[in-house]
Amino acid sequence: MMQSLLSSPLFGVALTVSVGALGLYIKTKTAWRLFNPMLFSMLLIIAFLMLLKIPYADYRAGGDLILKMLGPITVVLAVPLYQHHDKLRRHAAAILLGVGLGSLSALLSVYLFAWMAGLDLTLIKSLLPRSVTTPIGIAASEMLDGLVGLTVLAVVITGTFGAIIADWAFKVFRISDPVAKGVALGTSAHAIGTGKAFEYGQLEGAMSGLSIAIAGVSTILWLFLLQFLGLI
């Protein structure tokens, strides 16, 4: 009975949703800026599976269902974007240029640091799509013949780190414009950064959601260019 329950996709879904809700509850109650519900949920689930010796394959059956929903759910971000379409038109050129160059910067920084560290090409390919949302990162990693598991880990770490340092970065670099905040978070920290952007406001969240889509497209185009140049 217990084994059939654990091997059911509902187990992975229920565990993920429950732990995620707990993380959000703690975040709301404590208001601790350094607390990240995503990182908390990930570590707690890992500890739970290891403590009870539950095979990862059993959990993944439900986790894969949630992963498949990430793409369609992203469409919901279009609602606040529509509500602020006037600002989108006004800043369209700056947004496109900023996200495009930001995506290129993310790729080049990974490539240069990984090359300087002496990492092999497979690892470099796996780390390159770190700044895009998970579904796009997985597709990019598969396209490059990278290690998908490593790519997902890099995506999660990048988004979590970006959300954690956002307050500090905006303060140090004196970034107060809501459009700039949203674009920065969406481009560098994808969906996790967008969650942080919505903490600042609807406009920041809308711009961040838009930047996720643009960053995904521009990253794929930059990767094609790098492949064409023979760099990866």
pLDDT in tens, 168-194: 999 999 999 999 999 999 999 888 888
Q: Which of 231, 190, 230, 227 is nearest to 210 (CA)?
A: 190
pLDDT at 180: 92
Helix axes 37-51, 9-30, angle to 10 degrees: 130
**Average pLDDT, stretch 53-71?**
78
Amino acid at 129: P
| pTM, entire model | 0.78
What digits encode the pLDDT tens for the residues 89-106?
Answer: 888 899 999 999 999 999
Q: Which of 190, 222, 208 is nearest to 110 (CA)?
A: 222
Tokens of 50: 């290891």
